[in-house]
Amino acid sequence: MRKITLNEGSPRARIRSLLVLILGLLLIQLTACGGQGNPGSSDPLRFYVGSGGNLEYSIFLCELDPVAGVFSVVDSFAGASGSGYLDLSPDGTTLYATSRDKADGEEGHNSVTAFTVNQSDFSLTLLNSQSSQGRGNCHVQVSPKGDYLFAANYSSGHATALPLEADGRVAPASSVVRGEGSGPVESRQKGPHAHQVMMDPEGKFLLVPDLGTDKVMNYILDAKSGELTPNPDQPWLSMEPGSGPRHLVFHPSGEFVFILSELNSTITACRFNSTTGVLSIINSASIVKDDFTGAKQAAAIRIHPNGKYLYASNRDDVSSVAVLGIDEQGEINRLQVVDNVPYWPRDFNITPDGNHLLVAGGRANEIGLYIVDPATGLLTGTETKVNLPGPICIEFIE
């Protein structure tokens, strides 16, 4: 190895020698960092995709190499046609899906379906299906303890609780509830339309955004009987007339809830009392640009793992994703709107490490990749995408 002496030769030679030394030290440092690194940083991120329509093989297993920025489709699975929304059990051993399959011919109710997850390769094996006790099953969620599955039925307006057996199978419904009322938008709000089911982090209260009645229904779950009853302290939260609440998300702290309304494309921030289950409104913000005048339909809402940023998608005349900041009091403000994301982004999701966001363009038949700056929450687009038929829900395997 050549010895570098800083005081030898001409001034120009000394400068060259100094640069060589600096570059050498940088190379050593980079090599050391690469050797230590984060053991999981280059591991592929695995996720399931639920697709709409009447596909027989409607659930896909995919991977994302976060370093190379490359998607791959690993496998696809049958057993639940048109499984637009998915949810993994807390222990990751069972995947639950909505299904267009009819549970009974007389009532026309749809099904919810359970799959066993193979822990070695994450392939799926059909476990069983059960009636969702409603029409237009559009969303499912597993309780934090993994003992109940909840289903929202948009067309009939019902929300359903279904007990889960020890092996993950779905048992017949223990409770079926439905809101009452209508809204001023006649084409969409003639009656109840339960659009999502979300249990609080402690597993006591079930919140159901009802697009048809401009309410967020609020139920208490009896963990022993599986019965859902209206919360006596607040049976529902009334939203702005014609807003059409669609989806909501809890803050990681459990102190706040953020409600996305489809018909006016706004997010409403609320405080959440974990003892009583009462919601109280803080403020609201639009997810489209101030000068936007076209047709709009908000779709999905997610929160960054650090709890500082919200993301919400919009469809119709513009396909976009908005970024909003959250302050310590739960108040929100819009920071960015990214237009021209994959067409018709009915859903999207943030990687568990918070570094990427995947947008499912249901009518573009593709999923696009965006980089998230965790310090600012802002998004940067990439050219990376994967083509899939009618992708809707993205469920990461953690």
Residue 135 lies in a domain: no
Query: Is a pLDDT exceeding 90 seen at residue 27?
Result: no
Domain CATH code at residue 222: 2.130.10.10
Of 24-28, 54-58, 170-174, 191-195, where does mean pLDDT reach its minimum? 24-28
Average pLDDT of the residues in 77-95: 96
Overall domain count for the chain = 1
Alpha-carbon distance of 316 to 140, in angstroms, equals 25
Q: Which amino acid is at 154?
A: Y
pLDDT > 70: percent of the chain: 89
CA distance 324 to 113: 34
Residues 6+ positions from 381 with CB-CB distance below 8 Å: 338, 368, 370, 371
Number of Cβ atoms within 10 Å of the Cβ of 132: 31
* Average pLDDT estimate for 244-250: 98
**How much is the pLDDT for 53?**
78
Instruction: Provide DSSP, 50-100.
Output: EE-TT-SEEEEEEEEETTTTEEEEEEEEESSTT---EEE-TTSSEEEEEEE
Q: Is the pLDDT of residue 8 over 50?
A: no
Give the residue-averaged pLDDT of 226-238: 98
What pLDDT score does 261 carry?
Answer: 98
Residue bearing the bigger pLDDT, 89 or 103: 89
Residue 26 confidence (pLDDT) above 60 = no
pLDDT at 286: 98
- Structure confidence by residue, pLDDT tens digits, 132-176: 999 999 999 999 999 999 999 999 999 999 999 999 999 999 999
Q: Where are the beta strands (DSSP E) in 288-345?
A: 296-303, 309-316, 320-326, 332-339
**Sequence-separated (6 or more) residues with CB below 8 Å from residue 332:** 258, 267, 269, 282, 283, 284, 285, 310, 324, 325, 326
Host domain of residue 252: 182-340
- Binned at pLDDT 50, 70 and 90, residue 106 comes out as low
Token pair 């101030």 is found at 290
How confident is the model at residue 42, as a pLDDT?
A: 67
Which range has the worst mean pLDDT, 92-106, 258-272, 315-329?
Answer: 92-106
* 267 assigned to some structural domain: yes
pLDDT of residue 2: 32
The type of residue at 350 is I
Tell me the two tokens of residue 108.
């026309």
Higher-scoring residue by pLDDT: 106, 29 = 106
Which amino acid is residue 277, in one-letter code? G
Its pTM stands at: 0.89
> 31-45, 178-192, 318-332: which has the minimum mean pLDDT?
31-45
Question: Averaged over 214-237, what is the pLDDT?
Answer: 98
CB 348 within 8 A of CB 362: no
Using one digit for the tens of pLDDT, what is the confidence trace for 335-380?
999 999 999 999 999 999 999 999 999 999 999 999 999 999 999 9
Let me know if residue 277 belongs to a domain. Answer: yes
**Maximum distance among all alpha carbons in the chain?**
95
* pLDDT score recorded for residue 97: 97
Measure the CA–CA gap between 214 and 193, rounded to whole angstroms.
10
Rounded to 5 degrees, φ, ψ at 232 are -65, -25
Q: Residue 72 falls within a domain, yes or no?
A: no
Domain-embedded: residue 206: yes
Average pLDDT over residues 30-55: 64
Instruction: Please determine, for residue 4, whether its predicted confidence score (pLDDT) is greater than 80.
Output: no
On whether residue 380 sits in a domain, the answer given is no
Q: Establish if 121 belongs to a structural domain.
A: no
**pLDDT of 14:** 41
Nearest to 159 by CA among 114, 193, 200: 193
Work out the average pLDDT over 50-60. 91
**Residue-wise pLDDT tens digits, 262-312:** 999 999 999 999 999 999 999 999 999 999 999 999 999 999 999 999 999
Is the pLDDT assigned to residue 124 strictly greater than 50?
yes
Strand partners, 257: 250, 270
Sequence-separated (6 or more) residues with CB below 8 Å from residue 116: 93, 94, 124, 125, 127, 168
pLDDT score for 5: 32
Give CA separation, 327 vs 35, 255, 268, 282, in Å.
Answer: 38, 12, 14, 11
pLDDT higher than 70, residue 242? yes
Q: Are 214 and 240 in contact (CB under 8 A)?
A: yes
Place of tokens 């108040």: 331
Residue 56 within a domain: no
- Tens of pLDDT, residue by residue over 196-218, are 999 999 999 999 999 999 999 99
d(CA 162, CA 174): 6
List all residues 6 or more positions away from 49 whose beta carbon is below 8 Å from its beta carbon. 59, 60, 62, 360, 367, 388, 391, 392, 393, 394, 395
